[in-house]
Structure 1
Amino acid sequence: MKHALYPHRGPVPQDVIDAVEFELPAPGPGQVRVEVLAAAINPSDVLTLTGEYGMLPPLPAVGGNEGVGKVVELGSGVQGLAVGQTVLLPVGCGTWTTHLNADAAALVPLPEGADPRQLAMLTVNPPTAALLLSDILPLQAGDWVIQNAANSAVGGYLVQIARARGIHVVNVVRRESAVADVKASGADIVLVDGDDLAERVRDATGGAPIKLGIDAVGGAATGRIAAALASGGTVVNYGAMSGEPCALSPGELIFRGITLRGFWLAYWFKVTDAATRNALFADLVRQIATGALSARIQATYGLDDIKQAVAEAAAGERSGKILLLPNG
């Protein structure tokens, strides 16, 4: 057995983590042993390694916040799960590992036959995309939103979810080479960010009023998204790819009534009741299992190549998600 362990944090994420062998005790009462099938490497995982994320586990720690596995052993008293069953792993349990023990009650049974690589990306990005379209403003079919970082995993899910709901999306990327990938995901309008973004958005939409701006970049990009909104619109920020604070002019806030707010999925988990959380994930599982919702995968790595995998995940200009397949 191996897991990807980091004893400290540092500015170069791949330098602090290594694949090391370990021994796992037998599952205790109410626990099961899970063989990890696939685990994602998200931006939040990279920020956790550098110490810049909003919630950090005690050290030493095993990397990985989401993944999917197969039950291989049952502890005493476990009911409702069977050996061979595919399960969603608990958030933040250290999924970059070949095996782990988990409380049976914390595992979510998943449909058999679905692609485990797609299921492994279920916990973070799909609910973020879905909630950005439902919990910020009451959007209806025919409404317009604009998002930057449209070539990100969240951006790709948002395009698919919005299309199913009849919501129009203006998609903004930071480089011309990303346009084709976003269009391939089903996007109609894809623009490269720049100082004249608001004018090009008006031309592309025929001047349609845009109620919601979704920002994952921060810095001056936040202001460019705001400028493309109708008066009274809302910008929601859920990331800082630029590494800079959101920059929004007083003119947008005062004279046009633009609102800026944030979204963090971890906080949503804290304040939302279990029934609402379960309903959201049941719907997302159904869509992923049937192929109605999916994400691009750029590369998969084994656990021994964890340094290369993290380095690629941390690099820019990717066209898809980096996944770990700890058991091959």
Structure 2
Amino acid sequence: MLQAKYDHRGPVPQDVIEAVEADTPEPGPGQALVKVLAAPINPSDVLTLTGEYGILPPLPAVGGNEGVAEVVALGPDAQGVDVGQTVLLPVGIGTWVSHAVVDARKLVALPKEADPRQMAMMTINPPTALLMLSEFVDLQEGDWVIQNAANSGVGGYLIQLAKIRGLKTVNVVRRESAVEGVTAQGADVVLVDGPDLHKRVKEAVGDGAIKLAIDAVGGASTDHIADCLQEGGTLVNYGMMSGEPCQLTPRNLVFRNITARGFWLAKWFEQASREDQMKVFGQLTKLIATGKLQAKIAGEYDVSQIKEAVAAAAAGERNGKILVVPA
């Protein structure tokens, strides 16, 4: 089998990881041997390779945090899944591999008819988008939400989830070439970021008040979307794509009483009950399996092409997710 492994971290993520051959293991008691069908490369994966993410696994490590697989063999006393079943892999096990041995009890059975490539992206970006829309502000049908990095994986899911709920979205991107793709996903308004963003947003939404702003960029862009909020609105940050800390002027933080919050899915998992987690994933599974919630795919790579795959995922000019799809 092939594994994408790294034993150090560095500023160029594709330089630290490589495909390594290993013997395909036999499943032990309670375990399942699975063949990975698809595993995405997320921004958090890239930051893990550069050493900039909030949680870093001990080295050496195998890359990848989520994915979908097919059960190919079961060890003694393995329960909960059957050979041939499509399953969701546990988060954080190292999914950029051709095969893996996993505790069978931690595998979640998926609808056989569901697209494994779409299901492979379910455990990180979709719940991030869904929870940011529901955990901070009591939004009602017809309300406006503004987000930047709207052409990102989370951004695309947020547009679709907002539309399902009857919410309207203002979507901010950093380059003109991204506008068409975001519009095609069902965005109500798409604008390129800039210091005058609040003026252009006001022209677009008219009397519509924006209660929630979602920021993945940081730097001056944080203050740009804060300018667009109604007085007393809430801004939620979940990323730093600019590489700069969030900037909020006293005008927004003090005089306009804007509340700034942070969201990290790993922390939500720590605090949420098993029932709440299953409720979120049950909702997302149904939406993705029925094609109502989808993500764009920019490219697919075998494990043997992991360097090229990581380089593509780390590149700025990209329209969709990069997937590791073992041959």
Aligned residue number for residue 183 of structure 2: 183
Aligned residue number for residue 58 of structure 1: 58
Amino acid at match of 1:251: R
Amino acid at match of 2:210: I
Matches of 1:11 and 1:80, distance apart in 2:
41
Residue 122 of structure 2 corresponds to residue 115 of structure 1 = no
Matches of 2:271 and 2:224, distance apart in 1:
31
Give the drift of 1:235: 0.5
Give the drift of 1:317: 1.7
Give the drift of 1:25: 2.8
Matches of 2:139 and 2:76, distance apart in 1:
48
Matches of 2:212 and 2:262, distance apart in 1:
13
Residue 237 of structure 2 corresponds to residue 202 of structure 1 = no
Matches of 1:108 and 1:325, distance apart in 2:
19
Aligned residue number for residue 93 of structure 1: 93
Worse-superposed segment, 233-242 or 20-29: 20-29
Instruction: Look up the SS of the partner of 2:134 in the other structure.
Output: coil
Worse-superposed segment, 169-178 or 72-81: 72-81
Matches of 1:15 and 1:40, distance apart in 2:
19
Give the drift of 1:307: 0.3
Amino acid at match of 2:36: V
How big is each residue's C-alpha offset from its partner over 1:160-206, in whole Å with a ceiling of 9 and x where there is no partner?
00001001110000000000000111112100001100000000001
Aligned residue number for residue 322 of structure 2: 322
Unaligned runs of at least 5 residues, structure 1 = none
Aligned residue number for residue 285 of structure 1: 285
Instruction: Look up the SS of the partner of 1:291 in the other structure.
Output: coil
Give the drift of 1:250: 1.2
Give the drift of 1:136: 1.2
Give the drift of 1:23: 1.8
Matches of 2:195 and 2:172, distance apart in 1:
12
Give the drift of 1:24: 3.6
Matches of 1:317 and 1:140, distance apart in 2:
35
Matches of 1:189 and 1:97, distance apart in 2:
39
How big is each residue's C-alpha offset from its partner over 1:89-129, in whole Å with a ceiling of 9 and x where there is no partner?
00000000000011111111000011110011001000000
Matches of 1:272 and 1:283, distance apart in 2:
16
Aligned residue number for residue 236 of structure 1: 236
Q: Percent identity?
A: 65
Aligned residue number for residue 21 of structure 1: 21
Matches of 1:312 and 1:25, distance apart in 2:
30
Amino acid at match of 1:22: A
Instruction: Look up the SS of the partner of 2:171 in the other structure.
Output: strand
Aligned residue number for residue 274 of structure 1: 274
Amino acid at match of 1:47: L
Matches of 1:107 and 1:50, distance apart in 2:
29
Count of equivalent residues:
327
Cα RMSD of the aligned pairs, angstroms, is 0.7
Aligned residue number for residue 258 of structure 1: 258
Matches of 1:117 and 1:291, distance apart in 2:
12
How big is each residue's C-alpha offset from its partner over 1:35-65, in whole Å with a ceiling of 9 and x where there is no partner?
0000000000000000000001000000000
Aligned residue number for residue 169 of structure 1: 169
TM-score relative to the length of structure 2:
0.99
Amino acid at match of 2:144: W
Instruction: Look up the SS of the partner of 1:38 in the other structure.
Output: strand
Matches of 2:137 and 2:220, distance apart in 1:
23
Give the drift of 1:253: 1.0
Aligned residue number for residue 74 of structure 1: 74
Aligned residue number for residue 142 of structure 1: 142
Aligned residue number for residue 151 of structure 2: 151
Matches of 2:128 and 2:255, distance apart in 1:
30
Matches of 1:174 and 1:298, distance apart in 2:
18
Matches of 2:49 and 2:22, distance apart in 1:
20
Unaligned runs of at least 5 residues, structure 2 = none
TM-score relative to the length of structure 1:
0.99
| Cα contact 2:80–2:105 (8 A) shared by 1 | no
| Cα contact 2:79–2:105 (8 A) shared by 1 | no
How big is each residue's C-alpha offset from its partner over 1:222-245, in whole Å with a ceiling of 9 and x where there is no partner?
000100000000100000000000
Matches of 1:225 and 1:195, distance apart in 2:
10
Aligned residue number for residue 106 of structure 1: 106
Aligned residue number for residue 221 of structure 1: 221
Matches of 2:123 and 2:262, distance apart in 1:
19
Instruction: Look up the SS of the partner of 2:26 in the other structure.
Output: coil
